[in-house]
Structure 1
Amino acid sequence: MDTKNQEQLTSRIVQAATEKERPDGSSYPSLSFADQRDLAESYGPDHKSVQLAALRQGIVPEVYARNQKRLSCADQIKLLQCHVAIIGLGGLGGTVTEILARIGIGTLTLVDGDRFDDSNLNRQLLSSTEVLGKPKASVAEARVKAVNPAVETRTVTSLLTAENAENLLNSATIGVDCLDSITDRFTLEAVCRKMGIIMVSAAIGGTSG
């Protein structure tokens, strides 16, 4: 977006902002999702660009209003500029995907070579009877877009291997281990170490994770 359009977008955001009140009674300038969507459609930038422009003016996209007090506008900008790779999109990975999309991580790489089947329905957040047989990565992408269209996604419908790991993690700042294989976990750890990427292991041991 050129400087003129950026200035026009910022001006429209300021005009659209309204004062809202938190549960504790404190007030803040808010940008509703409806206005965010209209601005994205009118000016051509994606939802993320509108959110970033608002946050830089101290205006809170209402979708992040309940992040406030814990997260400042500057913190929210940092999250929107982060890129997290989630490796494994089953019971744990689906929940991690949901949480990161809602809190506003700007880019998610979603990696899983598996498809949903009947046995996933009892525990996997992203599974439903409507998505049986569909790739987990594609279903995860659709869920992210439904929850927070500002989040950019990259889907990988193949399993992590020693051969493809570096490409899968390219440009990510954090890799989240939601794998169910010790061997694959060691592969991810080795590649994250080699690439200087932070690895967070969210793996399940028994009923804990």
Structure 2
Amino acid sequence: MNDQQLLRYSRHILLDQIGIEGQQALLDAHALVIGAGGLGAPAAMYLAASGVGKLTLVDDDTVDLTNLQRQIIHGTASVGQPKVQSARAQLQSINPEIEVVALQERAGDARLRELVAGATVVLDCTDNFATRHAINRACVAQKVPLVSGAVIRFDGQVSVFDPRSGQQPCYSCLFPQDQQFADEACSTMGVLAPLVGVVGAMQAAEALKLIMGIGTSLAGRLLLLDGLHMEWNSMRVQRDAACPVCGAGALSA
């Protein structure tokens, strides 16, 4: 690190658990953020500010006026622009030293495996079960840790699914992909704006910990936030030995 970097990241370096070694791990890391909306906005901003050396943003949508209530990475002037381009400009203004790759696309299974293979950590900031399961399959196949978040109305959740040891549950253990779960969209159900910031920031914190190998991650736990009463609950998530994604007989494992 040069003198400017030592100064920029000094508040990290002061932490005994991080130090210069941990900050260098961040600078050498590649975070893949899928979704540049409510969750992806704060998550990506904190990853950029923290010095993650390469960020890849994947989203096929454009900025709409209704997004601005909560998607703080975008501004009024960005309406109509691709979200990844708007986000890239903001992230580079926060930290011009990092590399930001903007991919305006909806990635399918094969493409996700390709993208995940080059990442240190993946953040799922999407809003539908089909995409979440596709991301999970790619992360299990490539053995890359996944940080998952979701928010709707006044409720949020966040967890980590880490396939590297082969002992932890995956997203499909919690929400089996062969079961039907109703997608609930902000466009029809609404969402309290700051809650996506809370969950997105927690996703960034978990991603940073995973990159640096510090602390205890949320792997095997699901945190649930009741934002209306501001209460957190934690539940254990067990690995399903028969899971078609991460179980012993899984084709994608």
TM-score, normalization by structure 1: 0.69
Q: Which has the larger radius of gyration?
A: 1
- The structure 2 residue matched to 1:196, chosen from 140, 143, 148, is 143
Matched, 1:63 2:8: yes
How large is the RMSD of aligned CA atoms in angstroms? Answer: 1.6
- 1:155-203 C-alpha deviation (Å, 9 max, x unpaired): 1101132232122324101110101011100000001100111111122
In the alignment, residue 173 of structure 1 is paired with which amino acid?
T
Equivalent in the alignment of 2:120:
173
Where does the alignment leave 5 or more consecutive residues of structure 1 unmatched? 1-9, 14-30, 33-50, 52-59
Question: Could you tell me which of 30, 41, 54 is aligned with 1:94?
Answer: 41
Matches within 5 A, 1:11-160: 31-32=3-4, 51=5, 60=6, 62-70=7-15, 71-160=18-107
Structure with the bigger percentage of helix? 1
SS of the aligned residue for 2:8 comes to: helix
Q: Are 1:110 and 1:154, in contact at CA under 8 Å, matched by a contact in 2? A: yes
1:205 Cα offset (Å): 4.8
Instruction: After superposition, give the CA deviation of every residue in 1:39-80 in whole Å (9 maximum; x if it has no partner).
Output: xxxxxxxxxxxx4xxxxxxxx2x2112223223111110110
Separation of aligned partners in 2, 1:186 and 1:206: 22
Number of the residue aligned with 1:161: 108
Q: How many residues align?
A: 154
Indicate the residue corresponding to 1:19 in structure 2. none
Q: Does the CA-based 8 Å contact 1:156-1:168 persist in structure 2?
A: no
Structure 1 runs of 4+ aligned residues shifted over 3 Å read none
CA contact 2:121–2:146 (8 Å) conserved in 1 = yes
For residues 139 and 153 of structure 2, the distance between their equivalents in structure 1, rounded to whole angstroms, comes to 25
The Cα of 1:127 is off from its aligned counterpart by 1.9
Structure 1 position 206, deviation (Å): 4.1
- What is the match of residue 184 of structure 2? none
Shift of 1:83: 0.6
Quote the Cα distance in structure 2 between the aligned partners of 1:74 and 1:163.
Answer: 34
Highest RCO, 1 vs 2 (Cα 8 Å, sep ≥ 6): 2
**Structure 2 unaligned regions, length at least 5:** 157-198, 200-253
* Amino acid across the alignment from 2:116: L
Letter in 2 for 1:148: N
Q: Tell me by how many angstroms 1:141 deviates.
A: 1.2
Q: So what's the TM-score if we normalise by structure 2?
A: 0.58
CA contact (8 A) 2:23 2:51 kept: yes
**Paired residues of 1:87 and 1:160 also in contact (CA < 8 A):** no
